[in-house]
Structures are given as structure tokens and as C-alpha cells.
Chains A and B, each alone.
Chain A
Amino acid sequence: MSRPPQSGANLRRGSLAAVLAVAGLAAVAAAPPSAQDFWQSFKVSPSSTLDLKNRDGTIRVKGRRKINSIVISAKITSGDARVVAERAPDGTIQVDAKGPGTVNFDIEVPESTNLKLLSFRGSMHISHSSGAIKASILTDGSIELIDLQSPSVEAHSANGNVVFKGAVLPTGRYALKTFSGSVEATLPASSDFKLVAKSVQGGMDLGKFPLNFGKRTNQVVEGICGAGGASVSLWTQEGVIRLRSEP
């Protein structure tokens, strides 16, 4: 069956639509990147707390010297999520991603800010912090804690690696746990700490720390390095534990 011949008017309308479509696409491509979906800043004291809950997405928190604000940027990449941030009566900055969807957070905090981060799924990256940290991922996602000077760290993922690189303070407590991932802790070679490491199925590599072992089996290791002091607890059900020293 042959197509009926197009009239001149139809051809002109078709050409005009095509030109408009191309122009529209060009305009979109040339536009500056869209603004963040959420941005808010709070003036805070040095020992304030950030309490963040997310359902799905990445959370990046970076500690900075000489700033006195928590600056929250968030991008909603899918779903109908919305971000609510407010100051609680005790001064805690509470951030909550409500509703289904993926939200990626990028947050700057004074380096001594205490962090309480909880996510159902998605990775967390925390760097340059000297506050107390509690980071939990309830299902899938890894946690990276880099360049820390924190007195207390609790990092916990269900299915993902937990990586810690930083100092352990003499009375500090550090608990790194994952069910189905590996735990990797890199500490200064001169660190003093008590170690409890438990790996059920994956094994352990405890590096070159001069540990004085109280107990050493395939699955459970208890030992003291130097004068003890800090408490380091590493646990994984299915992954490997790696303890590294750096000069």
C-alpha cells in the first residue's frame, strides 16, 4: 500500500516541529547544571551533633576546620523522597529523607561534630572528623571512614565493607562490624589498643602489630598492643578482617 503524498502545509508543519525540537534539546544541553534539590545551612557550636536518616543513597560527610556551620546539600535522584532538616531543642541537627526514593547527601561539618548516620541502603563516606561517630547501614552498602581522630566510632553494615583509616585515642572505643563484607582497619603503627576480632567464615590478617595474644583461634582473637588503652573491636560473619599499620 502506497503512502498518500504529503501536502506542502504538512511538510512545513513537520519542519517547524523538528526545528523546535532541536532548539529545545540544545537549550537543555546548554543550561547550567540544575540547582541542588535541597540545600540548607545551620550555624552550630563545635560539639554539636548531626543526626541523619536516609532510606537509599550515598552519604558523604566531610569535616572541615575553621567553619561553624553544617552545610547540607542533597540531590534526590529517584522517587518521591523529600528532605527535612531542622534543629532539635538540644541543638542536634536532624536530617531525615522521608518517602520512597534515592537521596545523595553531601555534607560539610565542623570537624568536631558528632555524627549519627543511619541508612537503609547506600554507601557512607566520612572523612576528616574528630567527633564521635555512629554509622549504620541496615542492608546493602559500604562504610568508609578516612582520616579520623575520633574518640568513638561505631560503624556497622549488613552487607558491605567497613574501612577505617585513622588514629585510635587512648581511651577511645572503635567497633567496626559487617555481616557480609570485610573489615579493614589501618591504624598508626605506634597505636596502643586492646583488640577483639571475630570472623566466623572469612579469616583474619592481623598485619604486623606486636600483639600480645590472650586468645587466638581461627575465629576469635583477643590481644593487647602496647599499653592497651583504646578498645578496638572488629567483627564480620562472612568476610575477612584486615588490620594494617602505617608509619
Chain B
Amino acid sequence: MDCRIIVESLSSYLDGSLFDHEISSIDNHLVNCHECSAVHSDLAQIRMAARSLPQYEPPSHIWYQIRERVARETPSIPESAEAGKQSWWRRIMSARYTVTLPQMVGAGAMTLLVAFGTGIVSRQNLRRDGSESAPPSIDTLGMAAFAFEQPFREEINRKLSSINLQKASWDPQIREGFDRRLLRIDDSLKSCRQNVLNHPGDSDSRQLMISLYEEESQFLEDVERMK
């Protein structure tokens, strides 16, 4: 499948609104195509970040004002024969827009969010505890990953963010053991990921990666219980 078609379909793919056969061809493509896989990862991150934003219900008078404004402005649009022939781009560009302050703030926040999300994904050396100088033992989530890794990584990231808040108060021996364990899992994940890259048809390496993610997830769950 063409990368352009894949990228265009990713949003529907993430929405879960595609047919099974479309999902499986995108799955297959994402396993083999690093670029599309990275775009998918970016999109998933942005969606996740957007979901966590608080939702505001606009006041009811806003809708009334919009309806009023539309009713007022509709007759003023010239219905010339040329208008129908204008390109969609020209129509958009020639239309008049009014943007309220909350809309501007929202748009600005969204732009920042996209930039932030893209930045997160592209930073190869992102540390899990948010510290650039942290040892590499706690580096996994910054690595490029396959589509099937995404849900595991999200779950692990969520657990780690709560554990990292507590870590400073642990005794050094336990902290060292924790980091060592994560490092070993990460190393194994890297090695399995390389195997998947080298042999895309090898389902074993994929299964073993999933086992490693389950291992890491269980470990973090146990650490949370230990608190």
C-alpha cells in the first residue's frame, strides 16, 4: 500500500472506523514502514494528550449568537455565477472569519500541543523521569516503536509517571535495583525489536516483545503494590 494512502487513513485507523481488511493491511504496512509507523505514533500521542485535556461546555448563548450571525450574513454573500466556479481554496480564503478569544486560545493550545507531541516523539533520548541527565537504564519510550507496541507503551508510561514521583524517596539500593531491572528489560526489547526489523515475518520476536512488555507492566504494577 502507498504511504500517502496509509497516512491519510491513519486517523480513521485510530478511530477504529475501518473495515477489518483495511486494518490488517495498515497493520502490515506499519510493521514494515518506519516512516508511517512514526507518523502513527505521533498521531496516537497527540490524540492521547488531547483526550487528557479538560472539556468545557460552551455557554448556550454562544450557539444563539452564531445562528444570529449566520442569518445576518448569508444574504450578503453574492450569488454570482463565478462563485460556483471558484476553487474551494479560493472560497475558503475569501470568506470572512470571526474568531473569539476562547477560540484563539484553544487554537493556540492545540498548536502547542501538536508541537509538544511531535517533539516528544522525535526526541530519541527522552528520559522516563523527565530528566535529561538520568541514566540510560530508564530509557525506552523515546525509541521508535511498532504500532503494536503503542498500547503497552502507553500503559507503562502511565505507571512510570506515578512511580517516578515516588522514586526520590526510595533507598538507593532499591532505586538501583529498579533501574537495573528496567535496563535489562529495555535491552531485551531493543534486541527483539531489531529482530522484528530484520525479519518482519518472524512472529516469535513479536510475541517475545509482547511478553517483555507484559513483564515490564507486571513489574511496575508490583512496584506500585510495594509502596
Binding site for B on A (CB under 8 A): 53, 55, 100, 118, 120-121, 136, 138-140, 156, 158, 177, 179-180, 198, 200, 217, 219-220, 235, 237
A137 to B222, CA, bound (A): 9
Q: B226 to A138, Cβ gap below 8 A? A: yes
Interface, chain B (partner A; CB < 8 A): 171, 173-174, 177-178, 180-181, 184-185, 188, 192, 204, 207-208, 211-212, 215, 218-219, 222-223, 225-226
Contact between chains at A120 and B171 (CB < 8 Å): no
Q: What are 22 sample pairs from A and B whose C-beta atoms fall under 8 A apart?
A: A55-B174, A100-B173, A118-B226, A121-B177, A138-B177, A138-B223, A140-B177, A158-B181, A179-B184, A179-B185, A180-B184, A198-B207, A200-B192, A200-B208, A217-B204, A219-B204, A219-B208, A220-B204, A220-B207, A220-B208, A235-B215, A237-B212
B215 surroundings in chain A (CB, below 8 A):
177, 179, 235, 237
Nearest-CB residue, chain B, relative to A138? B222
**Is A200 within 8 A of B188, CB to CB?**
yes
Q: Give chain B residues whose Cβ lies under 8 Å from the Cβ of A118.
A: 222, 225-226
Given contacts A198-B207, A235-B215, 6 further A-B pairs with CB under 8 A are A121-B177, A138-B181, A139-B181, A158-B181, A235-B211, A237-B212
The A contact surface, by secondary structure, is strand
B residues near A200, Cβ cutoff 8 Å:
188, 192, 208
- A139→B223 CA distance, assembly (Å): 11
Q: Complex: how many Å from CA A219 to CA B211? A: 12
Q: How far apart are the CA atoms of A72 and B45 in the complex, in Å? A: 48
- B225 close to A53 (CB less than 8 A): yes
A139 closest partner in B (C-beta) = B177
Bound-complex Cα distance A184 to B107 (A): 59
Residues of chain A within 8 A (CB-CB) of B174 are 55, 120
Contacts of A120 in B (CB 8 A): 174, 177, 226
Given A138-B177, A198-B207, A156:B218 Cβ within 8 A:
yes
